[in-house]
């Protein structure tokens, strides 16, 4: 018999197939076929094919918009939101709307067309994280913005239109709904227990034979949430309570780089190089700071199709229970 | 300049790209495949499915034999069934309950047809009647709180390999998050305005006309103001009612007509794309402490039809914020003219 589990943060129920769990080999998705670096705007020498660079890591002090960079940030060529103008909110009879003010940037992870985070040396991954942080700090100065979302789409099925490894940043003038819900859940828990729910989850998972934990170092932990929406969904959390990603200390960045690399590397190996998304969940900016929120990264491999049931209900069916998925990811099951 | 629009019911924001609005032919994802010679849902192969739960048999006939028009069978891979106990437990932070409920497949036509758009209006009416009958039957089980009816057409929309038009029914022992959000949003709107938000949407859209896809007696199809997906369509009854299963016969005729026309338009305009539809209806009102007494006034059932034209990526998952590349007014115009 399968069971229903409730996410303690968002109160979302998921159905977990505990009887006949699917193994990594049971999922079918299209393998990535490389198109090649010809005309790729993210490769060395093609810097003129992107909008001008906003920021870059250039150890050799080379000129902007020329080769020599390690990580490079440019404006999205087809932005979902635009940075120019004042935020104008209005009501149109029944409906509320505003103009689409925001920032939409692309972070090119490296000059290497065919390499992903697991292939980079630690220093390269640290540079990516540092640039995530510096872009966040910079955009936070713009008081129009209330939320900064950093995410990665890898593979076409996960929404990536270009195959050269990159992440994206979107600064929004309002707090998105899922974030509000997560914060509300965390605040509700905090007001009753006077503890952070994410800290409690970490404590409970560490105390529970570590059955859903994959990696752990001094500063970070990788675990599979009990009520994951997707098979093999994985979270990376800082052990120390911090509400916002941009509060990450310089000396903690190498620990995050290491665990991110290990986690994505293990997923690639065990799940046969799946398309995936990861999203940094953090606190809103330029507004009152929520109590009891704890930043983290959610990684969602795209192994199954999301169907009408999930859209209509916010209720998810998970074909591999997270404790079984954790065994595969730790290499205890093959 | 792109626009940000807020869904008036659940407060979800979406980004509408207005400048480079995507035209129907920008998507083009045809769903096609060879007909299946061993389709277990075709008439004459009733033994290949689990025993039938319900069927429309105008000329009588025994269960699991030929002569049906619509047939309901249990899913062969059910996520929920009513065999076990509805146990509940908590471990530390976490809540668990037994997966009690029902998971059924509605086979919508006896001969092999893939898309519901190709069914006759009368046949679609029989499908709607079947939905109502199943909800009424499942309502008798006091452990069931919600019945969700939906369709996955095409592989990208979660449909199966066998291309025989069918929909699914899932009965759950818990209320669903999305439904709860809609109920809470409608209650909030009602308690301030003393009007149903969906009735207001119907009035507003009839007045403005620019987002209407079609208007059949008693039923309105619109592209919602803050649509998440390009060419998303909502079908609403003009008369206020919280429960789909209380639909009357005349409304059912109009709904069959509207649903057929919407699906035909989507098929024609968007080159037979994969799609989902979901019936949004109120949960059963089971009495318990804190029992929600205002649902009848607050809530308004409707059907959401979602062509699956774009990939939902990290941004959408992370935020619940959607980027819709076709402005709803443009989408509605295309659909009206299709």
With respect to residue A141, please indicate whether it lies within any of the assigned structural domains: yes
Match domain B3-337 to its CATH number in 3.30.428.10, 3.40.718.10, 3.40.50.1000, 3.40.50.2300: 3.30.428.10
DSSP B282: P
pLDDT of residue A1: 55
| Chain B nearest CA to A15, separation (Å) | 7
**Residues B244-280 as b or e (16 or more Cβ within 10 Å = b):** bbebeeebbbbbbbbbbbbbebbbebbbbbbbbbbbb
Q: Which residues of A touch B234 (CB under 8 A)?
A: none
B315 touches chain A (CB under 8 A): yes
pLDDT of residue A18: 75
Confidence tier at B29 by pLDDT (50, 70, 90)? very low
Least CB-CB distance to A308: which of B152, B176, B226? B152
With respect to residue A101, please indicate whether it lies within any of the assigned structural domains: yes
Active-site residue, selected from the candidate residues A104, A113, A164, A166: A166
SS (H, E, C) B13-40: EEEECCCCCCCHHHCCCCCCCCCCCCCC
Longest dimension (CA), chain A: 62
With respect to residue A26, please indicate whether it lies within any of the assigned structural domains: no
Q: Which residues of A touch B280 (CB under 8 A)?
A: 312
pLDDT of residue B18: 61
CA angle B138–B139–B145, rounded 5-degree value: 100
Least CB-CB distance to A176: which of B13, B95, B200? B13
Q: Which residues of B touch A314 (CB under 8 A)?
A: 176-179, 181
| Chain A nearest CA to B276, separation (Å) | 5
A77 within 8 A of A50, measured Cβ to Cβ: yes
Q: Which residues of A touch B155 (CB under 8 A)?
A: 305
Helix (H, G, I), strand (E, B) or coil at B111: coil
Q: For an interface test with B, which of A82, A309, A314, A319 has the most B Cβ atoms less than 10 Å from its Cβ? A: A309
pLDDT of residue B30: 44
CATH of the domain at A137: 3.30.428.10
pLDDT surpasses 90 at A111: yes
Distance CA B48, CA A271 (A): 34
**For the ranges A3-17, A25-39, A75-89, B269-283, the one whose mean pLDDT is highest:** B269-283
Q: How many CB atoms lie within 10 A of CB A250?
A: 9
Structural domain containing residue A168:
41-84+94-330
A144 touches chain B (CB under 8 A): no
A313 touches chain B (CB under 8 A): yes
With respect to residue A276, please indicate whether it lies within any of the assigned structural domains: yes
The more confident residue out of B290 and B284 is B284
**Where are chain B's structural domains?**
3-337
Distance CA B44, CA B164 (A): 14
Q: Cβ of A315 and B172 within 8 Å?
A: yes
Average pLDDT over residues B282-296: 81
Confidence tier at A319 by pLDDT (50, 70, 90)? confident
pLDDT surpasses 90 at B224: yes
Identify the bridge partners of residue A56 per DSSP, sorted by sequence position. A72
Confidence tier at B289 by pLDDT (50, 70, 90)? low
Interface of B with A in 24-53 (CB under 8 A): none
Number of domains forming the structure of chain A: 1
Q: Which residues of B touch A93 (CB under 8 A)?
A: 204
- Cα of first residue to Cα of last residue in chain A, in angstroms, is 23
Q: Which residues of A touch B158 (CB under 8 A)?
A: 305-309
| Chain B nearest CA to A164, separation (Å) | 17
Least CB-CB distance to A3: which of B17, B99, B155? B99
For residue B135, what are the contacts with CB-CB under 8 A and spacing of at least 6?
B147, B149, B244, B245, B281
Phi-psi sector, A85: left (phi>0), alpha (psi -120 to 50), beta: left
How confident is the model over A89-101, as pLDDT tens digits?
888 888 888 888 8
Residues of chain A above pLDDT 90, percent: 65
Average pLDDT over residues A269-292: 92
Average pLDDT over residues B150-172: 89
| Chain A nearest CA to B250, separation (Å) | 26
The more confident residue out of B56 and A78 is B56
Q: How many CB atoms lie within 10 A of CB A145?
A: 23
| Chain A nearest CA to B313, separation (Å) | 5
DSSP B298: H
Distance CA A228, CA A321 (A): 8
CB contacts < 8 A (A, B): 216
Our answer to whether residue A166 is catalytic in this structure is yes
pLDDT of residue B178: 83
pLDDT surpasses 60 at A51: yes
pLDDT of residue A68: 96
Least CB-CB distance to A314: which of B178, B313, B315? B178
Average pLDDT, chain B: 88
Distance CA B334, CA B338 (A): 6
How confident is the model over B171-220, as pLDDT tens digits?
988 888 888 889 999 999 999 899 999 999 999 999 999 999 999 999 99
HSE toward the beta carbon, residue A325, CA cutoff 13 A: 33
Q: How many CB atoms lie within 10 A of CB B76?
A: 12
Phi-psi sector, B44: left (phi>0), alpha (psi -120 to 50), beta: left
Q: Which residues of A touch B161 (CB under 8 A)?
A: none
With respect to residue A66, please indicate whether it lies within any of the assigned structural domains: yes
pLDDT surpasses 50 at B28: no
How confident is the model over B162-173, as pLDDT tens digits?
889 999 999 988
- How do beta strands A147-154 and A166-172 pair? antiparallel
Q: Cβ of A308 and B320 within 8 Å?
A: no
Average pLDDT over residues A36-61: 96
SS (H, E, C) chain A: CCEEEECCCCCCEEEECCCCCCCHHHCCCCCCCCCCCCCCCCCCCCHHHCCCEEEEECCCCCCCCCCCCCEEEEECCCCCCECCCCCCEEEECCEEEEECECEEEEEECCCCCCCCHHHCCHHHHHHHHHHHHHHHHHHHCCCCCCEEEEEEEECHHHCCCCCCCEEEEEEECCCCHHHHHHHHHHHHHHHHHCCCHHHHHHHHHHHCCCCCEEEECCCEEEECCCCCCCCCCEEEEECCCCCCHHHCCHHHHHHHHHHHHHHHHHHHHHCCCCCEEEEEECCCCCCCCCCCCCCEEEEEECCCCCCHHHHHHCCEEECCCHHHHHHHHHCCCC
Distance CA A157, CA A144 (A): 33
A282 within 8 A of A170, measured Cβ to Cβ: no
Q: Cβ of A152 and B84 within 8 Å?
A: no
With respect to residue A98, please indicate whether it lies within any of the assigned structural domains: yes
ipTM of the predicted assembly exceeds 0.85: no
The more confident residue out of B310 and B102 is B102
A76 within 8 A of A170, measured Cβ to Cβ: no
pLDDT of residue A135: 98
How confident is the model over A188-243, as pLDDT tens digits?
899 888 999 999 999 999 998 899 999 999 999 999 998 888 889 999 999 999 99
Distance CA B90, CA A4 (A): 12
**CA distances (Å), B165 to each of A296, B114, B159, B161, in order?**
42, 5, 10, 11
A167 within 8 A of A78, measured Cβ to Cβ: no
A158 within 8 A of A230, measured Cβ to Cβ: no
pLDDT surpasses 70 at A334: yes
pLDDT of residue B257: 98
């Amino acid at each position: 018999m399968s069971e229903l589990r409730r996410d303690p943060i968002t109160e979302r129920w998921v159905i977990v197939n505990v009887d006949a769990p699917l193994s990594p080999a049971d999922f079918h998705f299209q393998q990535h076929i490389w198109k090649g670096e010809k005309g790729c705007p993210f490769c060395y020498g093609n810097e003129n094919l992107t909008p001008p660079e906003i920021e870059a890591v250039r150890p050799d002090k080379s000129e902007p918009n020329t080769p020599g960079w390690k990580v490079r940030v440019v404006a999205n060529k087809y932005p979902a939101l635009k940075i120019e103008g004042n935020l104008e909110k209005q009501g149109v009879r029944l409906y509320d709307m505003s103009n689409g003010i925001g920032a939409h940037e692309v972070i090119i992870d490296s000059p290497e067309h065919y390499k992903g985070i697991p292939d980079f040396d630690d220093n390269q991954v640290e540079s990516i994280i540092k640039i995530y942080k510096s872009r966040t700090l910079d955009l936070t100065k713009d008081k129009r913005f209330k939320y900064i979302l950093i995410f990665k789409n890898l593979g076409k099925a996960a929404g990536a239109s270009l195959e050269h490894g990159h992440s994206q940043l979107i600064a929004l003038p309002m707090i998105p709904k899922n974030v509000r819900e997560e914060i509300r859940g965390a605040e509700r828990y905090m007001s009753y227990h006077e503890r952070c729910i994410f800290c409690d989850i970490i404590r409970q998972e560490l105390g529970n034979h570590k059955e859903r934990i994959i990696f752990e170092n001094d500063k970070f932990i990788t675990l599979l949430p009990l009520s994951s929406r997707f098979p093999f969904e994985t979270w990376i959390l800082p052990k120390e309570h911090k509400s916002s990603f941009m509060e990450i200390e310089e000396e903690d960045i190498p620990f995050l780089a290491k665990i991110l690399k290990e986690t994505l590397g293990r997923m690639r190996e065990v799940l046969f190089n799946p398309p995936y998304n990861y999203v940094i969940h953090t606190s809103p900016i330029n507004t009152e700071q929520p109590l009891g929120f704890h930043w983290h990264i959610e990684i969602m491999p795209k192994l199954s199709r999301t169907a009408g049931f999930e859209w209509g209900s916010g209720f998810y069916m998970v074909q591999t229970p997270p404790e079984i998925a954790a065994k595969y990811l730790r290499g205890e099951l093959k | 300049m792109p626009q940000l629009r807020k869904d008036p019911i659940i407060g979800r924001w979406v980004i509408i790209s207005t400048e480079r609005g995507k035209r129907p032919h920008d998507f083009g994802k045809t769903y096609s495949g060879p007909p299946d010679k061993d389709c277990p849902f075709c008439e004459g192969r009733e033994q290949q499915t689990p025993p039938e739960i319900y069927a429309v048999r105008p000329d009588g006939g025994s269960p699991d034999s030929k002569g049906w028009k619509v047939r309901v069978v249990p899913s062969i891979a059910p996520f929920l069934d009513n065999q076990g106990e509805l146990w509940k437990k908590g471990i530390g932070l976490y809540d668990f309950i037994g997966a009690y409920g029902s998971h059924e497949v509605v086979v919508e036509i006896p001969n092999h047809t893939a898309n519901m758009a190709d069914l006759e209006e009368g046949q679609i009416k029989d499908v709607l009647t079947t939905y109502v009958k199943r909800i009424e039957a499942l309502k008798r089980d006091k452990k069931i709180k919600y019945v969700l009816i939906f369709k996955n057409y095409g592989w990208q929309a979660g449909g199966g390999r066998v291309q025989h038009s069918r929909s699914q029914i899932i009965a759950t022992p818990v209320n669903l998050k999305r439904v709860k959000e809609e109920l809470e949003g409608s209650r909030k709107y009602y308690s301030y305005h003393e009007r149903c938000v969906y009735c207001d949407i119907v009035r507003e859209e009839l007045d403005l006309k620019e987002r209407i896809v079609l208007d059949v007696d008693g039923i309105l199809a619109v592209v919602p103001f803050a649509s998440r997906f390009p060419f998303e369509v909502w079908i609403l009854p003009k008369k206020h009612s919280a429960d789909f299963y209380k639909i009357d016969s005349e409304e059912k005729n109009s709904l069959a007509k509207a649903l057929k026309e919407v699906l035909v338009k989507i098929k024609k305009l968007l080159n037979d794309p994969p799609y989902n539809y979901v019936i949004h209806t109120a949960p059963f009102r089971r009495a318990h402490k804190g029992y929600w007494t205002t649902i009848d006034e607050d809530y308004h059932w409707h059907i959401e039809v979602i062509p699956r034209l774009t990939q939902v990526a990290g941004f959408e998952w992370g935020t619940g914020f959607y980027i819709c590349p076709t402005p709803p007014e443009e989408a509605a115009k295309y659909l009206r003219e299709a």
